[in-house]
């Protein structure tokens, strides 16, 4: 393994910084120490988002989707000690990819599935994890066209000798936003495993050659608390798209993406993640058990847990009361 001094010497080649940004990872690491929003604020946001989704679905005549989103988390069981909420158990989940509640559940499953392999792979492959974001110029096209264009460019990049000389695989997720121009801004979040240092300008030049119109990319080294950094990148990669600027036409476009993969693994990491079977103690260290049964002690304070049945509309106020409750001694 290279020392920090060796890393620093190699970080700059031919006057170009190998890493163009560090802000994202450091902010993600800081957010892991302090919540950006309270639980009640997050619940408010999810409730409002699902109401917007329901309205959009009704506007395009998809009553089935509107009904599913309406029933999702309409009734929940909160397992709580009165101050801490150990688990929320819904009666029904819609599974829709734009639903913030279902996206959170999907993110948790992906983190649990891949985090052990992500943590183990750098040691066995002699690589370092980096967060790479690839973008492309925006065009007047459907969301499916924008995503197919982007994923096609990424496949072409992975076939190039430069990529294979410097990376040993990773995982990717597609995120998109809607700009003020009304066009889709699709970009790839990639958790890649870099085997060699390189001048980031070389990667920019290659990306421009492949796309024909874009040199925009960012590369962040994951450092410090690696497990926390990797966890944050994984969570960020699978977060749902924001629907703040959605119109009925945008929802129709998204529904046409039903069979489009938005997440995947590639390269040597793909096979490693498929075959890797972590030891029980490794899993326990990454995912400490949290007691979520009524009558058992709360893992945060030791007071007994109990069940509370709630309507989804009541959840934000319930969480606000928990946040405001005196600290249990």
**Residue 36 confidence (pLDDT):** 66
**Mean pLDDT lowest among 77-81, 103-107, 310-314:** 103-107
Q: In this structure, are residues 260 and 173 in contact, taking their beta carbons and an 8 Å threshold?
A: no
How confident is the model over 145-202, as pLDDT tens digits?
999 999 999 999 999 999 999 999 999 988 888 888 888 998 899 999 999 999 999 9
Question: What is the per-residue pLDDT across 223-267, written as a single tens digit (0 to 9) for each?
Answer: 777 777 777 777 766 677 778 888 999 999 999 988 788 889 999
pTM for this predicted structure: 0.81
Least confident of 19-33, 43-57, 153-167, 188-202: 19-33
Coil vs helix vs strand at 296: coil
Beta-ladder partners of 220: 131
- Cα separation, 79 vs 44, in Å, equals 19
Residue 11 reports pLDDT greater than 80: no
Token pair 């309409």 is found at: 74
**Residue 124: exposure state from Cβ atoms within 10 A (0-12, 13-18, ≥19):** exposed
- Can you tell me the distance from the alpha carbon of 54 to that of 64, in angstroms, rounded to the nearest whole number? 10
pLDDT over 90 for what percent of the chain? 49
For residues 171 and 161, what is the distance between their CA atoms, to the nearest angstrom?
19
Q: How confident is the model at residue 6 (pLDDT cuts 50, 70, 90)?
A: very low
**For residue 84, is pLDDT > 90?**
no
* Distance in angstroms (rounded) separating the CA atoms of residues 125 and 271: 12
Please give the backbone phi and psi of residue 212, each rounded to the nearest 5 degrees, phi first.
80, -5
The closest alpha carbon to 161, from 202, 221, 191, belongs to 202
- Round to whole Å and give the CA distance between 318 and 311: 10
Tokens matching residue 226: 């690696």
Nearest to 179 by CA among 188, 171, 187, 169: 187
- Residue 323 sits at the vertex; the CA angle it makes with 321 and 329, to the nearest 5 degrees, is 105
Mean pLDDT of 200-206: 94
Q: Alpha helix (H) ranges present in the chain?
A: 4-10, 23-31, 39-59, 63-71, 100-125, 143-158, 161-166, 200-211, 226-237, 248-255, 267-275, 280-286, 315-324
Whether 272 shows a pLDDT value over 60: the answer reads yes
Rounded Cα gap, residues 57 and 240, in angstroms: 17
């Amino acid at each position: 393994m290279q020392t920090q001094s060796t890393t620093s010497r190699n970080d700059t080649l031919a006057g170009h910084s190998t890493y163009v940004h560090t802000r994202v990872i450091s902010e993600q690491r800081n957010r892991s120490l302090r919540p950006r929003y309270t639980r009640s604020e997050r619940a408010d946001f999810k409730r409002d988002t699902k109401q917007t989704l329901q309205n959009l679905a009704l506007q395009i005549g998809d009553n089935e989707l509107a009904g599913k989103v309406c029933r999702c988390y309409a009734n929940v069981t909160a397992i709580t000690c009165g101050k801490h909420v150990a688990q929320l158990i819904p009666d029904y989940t819609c599974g829709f990819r734009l639903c913030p509640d279902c996206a959170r559940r999907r993110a948790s499953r992906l983190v649990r599935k891949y985090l052990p392999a992500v943590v183990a792979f750098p040691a066995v492959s002699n690589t370092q994890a980096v967060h790479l974001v690839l973008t492309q110029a925006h065009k007047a096209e459907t969301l499916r066209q924008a995503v197919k264009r982007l994923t096609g460019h990424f496949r072409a990049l992975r076939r190039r000798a430069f990529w294979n000389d410097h990376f040993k695989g990773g995982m990717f997720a597609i995120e998109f936003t809607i700009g003020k121009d009304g066009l889709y801004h699709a970009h790839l979040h990639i958790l890649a495993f870099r085997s060699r240092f390189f001048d980031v300008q070389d990667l920019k030049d290659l990306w421009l050659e492949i796309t024909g119109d874009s040199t925009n990319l960012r590369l962040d080294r994951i450092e410090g608390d690696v497990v926390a950094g990797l966890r944050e990148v994984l969570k960020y990669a699978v977060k749902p798209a924001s629907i703040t600027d959605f119109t009925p036409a945008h929802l129709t476009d998204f529904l046409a993406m039903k069979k489009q993969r938005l997440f995947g693994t590639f390269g040597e990491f793909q096979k490693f993640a498929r075959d890797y079977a972590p030891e029980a103690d490794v899993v326990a260290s990454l995912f400490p058990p949290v007691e979520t049964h009524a009558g058992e002690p709360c893992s945060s304070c030791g007071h007994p847990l109990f069940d509370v049945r709630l309507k989804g509309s009541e959840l934000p106020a319930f969480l606000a009361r928990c946040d405001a409750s005196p600290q249990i001694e």
